[in-house]
Amino acid sequence: MSWPGGLSAQPVSSPPPLHARQMSGHPCWTSVAAERPTGDDEKKVMITLNNLRSLRQRLATGWLWWSLAGAVALTDFATKHWVRISLTEGDRIALAESFNLVFFRNAGAAFGLLASADGWQRYFLAAIALGVSALLLWLLGTALAWVEAIAYSLILGGALGNVVDRLNHGNVTDFLDFHWRGQHWPAFNVADIAICIGVLVLIGWTTLTGAGSSDQVKT
User: Residues with catalytic annotation?
Assistant: 174, 192
Short-list 91, 99, 112, 90, CA closest to 180: 99
What are the Cα distances from residue 189, in Å, to 106, 110, 172?
11, 9, 9
Angle between helices 39-86 and 146-169 (to 10 degrees): 50
Q: Give the C-alpha separation, 140 to 36, whole Å.
A: 40
Q: Is 66 left (phi over 0), alpha (psi -120 to 50) or beta?
A: alpha
Q: How far apart are CA 94 and CA 87, in angstroms?
A: 13
